[in-house]
Structure 1
Amino acid sequence: MDLGIAGKTALVTGGDSGIGWQTARMLLEEGATVVISDIDADALAEAAAQLDAPEGRLHHHAADVRSLEQIEALRDAVHDAVGAIDILVQCSGVTGAQGLFHEIDDDGWVDTLAIDLLGPVRLTRAFIDDLRGGWGRIVYLTSEDATQPYDDELPYCAAKAGVLSFAKGLSRSYASEGLLVNCVSPAFIHTPMTDAMMEKRADELGVSFDEAVESFLSEERPFMELGRRGEPEEVASVITFLCSDRASFVNGSEYRVDAGSVATL
């Protein structure tokens, strides 16, 4: 299927692994020029090498989304390398501070919100003029936690709910200018972030990694009817669709890629 994005230019944050990396791969396969960004320059360079893109179609620039100065530097580097972008895919994020509410201090909240909520806001502000050019796409990676919060990671839940609300409002502001804004909300995907969560769980319970995954699914995510973690490409395929001409009537939506994890409509 021709998605109609050949020749478009995309910026994918959180692009050094997982969902962001797979999204960059799929956009490249569809003929887009892609810039990937993440916080670790070395990991980012390695990720770019693994993508093995045609010459001139892939660029990378490290940036910390907590820093307004680094986001502005990212914007300048992107414009120098490829010009204005048509697509922004915001995948960068962290689980952040964990524990029950009374166990998380102010720094835990501030750090999580700075990455998971203010990061998308600042990136959007930096590139909004590019995306208002008559054809634009923004896709934010949110989470099942945005609509089904869990009591041991409330800063992350609140941040993702904030992104969902931000995206909905933004989708009303610029649709008449051709900019479509949507969200994709995955649940328990096979990424470095959930690997770290399961390694911690395995240590705490004194079990193997696989046993930690199995117990997490049965005890914490009982509505994931497929009984497994999702794969990054299963999320990236939905993101790529939302970046395309095929999604030309989709705006202000949340697409859940969660095996049924969210238990309500």
Structure 2
Amino acid sequence: MDLAVKGRTAVITGGDSGIGLATAMLLASEGAHIVLNDKTKEELETAAEKVREHAWENSRVVAVTADLTQNGAVQKLAAQVQEQFGGADILVNSAGIRGAAGDFLKLSDEDLYNTIDIDLMGAVRACRAFIPQMQAKGWGRIVLISSENALQPYEDESPYNACKAGIINLAKCLSRTYSKEGLLINCVSPAYIATPMTDEMMQELAEKRGTSEAEAVEWFLKNKRPQIAVGRRGEASEVASVIAFLCSEQASYITGSNFRADGGSVESAFG
């Protein structure tokens, strides 16, 4: 399927690894120009090289560091995109952290604020910076990354759960406001995908249980995520395929929706 994104400019936050990187590679292969964003310059440049290896011959790939917890940095990122590409057509907000986890009563205000600042407010700042550029073009695609946790929360991840639920609501709210101007805004909610964030979780579990990481993954699937219908961990590329479709011309009648790329992990039919 031709996604019809050749020549479009896609800004991918959290783009140095995981779902963000996989999405950037896929969109670049379809002919989109890519602005890859994350906080760490060296890791971001390495990721940009990987994207260039997959890029269609006329696609440009640039790496721009910016901290999404700083509004000034996000506005500067938007200004650079405007100057170099004439504005963004696509925004994929993949930046996020697991944040503080554990007993709710032991979490401090700072624990919650830190997760909110990155996982929820990072998306707010990115949308606020790039929506005007899309309005000027009369066309845009925004995909915000939520999680199964928004619909099926896990008791030891309350800050993350709340932020990801907020992301779905934010996407719906923005879609109601801007879709008539040609901006289609949706969410994708993954579950237990092989990314650096879940790798770290598995490393911690392996150390705690005194096993290998592979054994930790198997234990986690059996004991913590037995509801995953496909019975395995997902790949970032599998989520990227859903995101890329929502960024495309083919998704011209889809807005305000949440798409679960979760291997059947969420047990409700209507969540």
TM-score, length of structure 1 as denominator length: 0.98
Distance (Å, rounded) in 2 between the aligned partners of 1:92 and 1:83? 23
Give the letter aligned to residue 31 of structure 2: G
Task: Please state how far the C-alpha of 1:51 moved relative to its aligned partner.
Answer: 1.8
Counterpart-to-counterpart distance in 2, 1:84 and 1:51: 20
Q: CA deviation at 1:100?
A: 1.5
Q: 2: CA distance between counterparts of 1:121 and 1:113?
A: 11
Determine the C-alpha separation between the residues in 2 that align with 1:92 and 1:139: 12
Alpha-carbon shift at residue 28 of structure 1 (Å)? 0.7
Q: By how many angstroms is 1:108 displaced?
A: 0.5
8 Å Cα contact 2:229-2:265 kept in structure 1: yes
Superposed, 1:23-102 pairs within 5 Å as 23-52=23-52, 53=55, 54=57, 57-102=60-105
Aligned to 2:228: 224
TM-aligned CA deviation for residue 38 of structure 1: 0.4
Does residue 171 (structure 1) correspond to residue 170 (structure 2)? The answer is no
Could you say which residue in structure 2 is the equivalent of 1:107?
A: 110
2: distance between equivalents of 1:121 and 1:179? 16
Q: Give per-residue Cα distances to partners, 1:98-145, cap 9 Å, x unaligned.
A: 101012111110000000000000110011111223211000010000
- How far residue 80 of structure 1 moved from its aligned partner, in angstroms, is 2.1
Displacement after TM superposition at 1:76 (Å): 1.6
Does 1:183 find its partner at 2:187? yes
- Contact (CA 8 Å) 1:18, 1:232: kept in 2 or not? yes
2:165 paired residue among 161, 172, 190: 161
Q: Which residue of 1 aligns with 2:209?
A: 205
Unmatched runs of 5 consecutive residues or more in structure 2? none
Q: How many residue pairs are counted as aligned between the two chains? A: 265
Alignment of 1:129-140 (within 5 A): 129-132=132-135, 133-140=137-144
One-letter code of the match for 2:199?
A: D
Runs of at least 4 residues off by over 3 Å:
53-56
**SS state at 1:36 partner:** strand
1:55 Cα deviation (Å)?
A: 6.3
1:184 Cα shift? 0.4
- Structure 1 window deviating more from structure 2 (239-248 vs 79-88): it is 79-88
RMSD: 1.0
- The superposition leaves residues 178-199 of structure 1 with CA deviations (integer Å, 9 ceiling, x where unpaired) of 1100000000001111100000
| Cα distance, 1:79 vs structure 2 | 1.7
**Structure 2-normalised TM-score?**
0.95
Distance 1:198 1:37 in 2: 26
2:65 partner SS: coil
**C-alpha separation between the residues in 2 aligned to 1:126 and 1:204?**
42
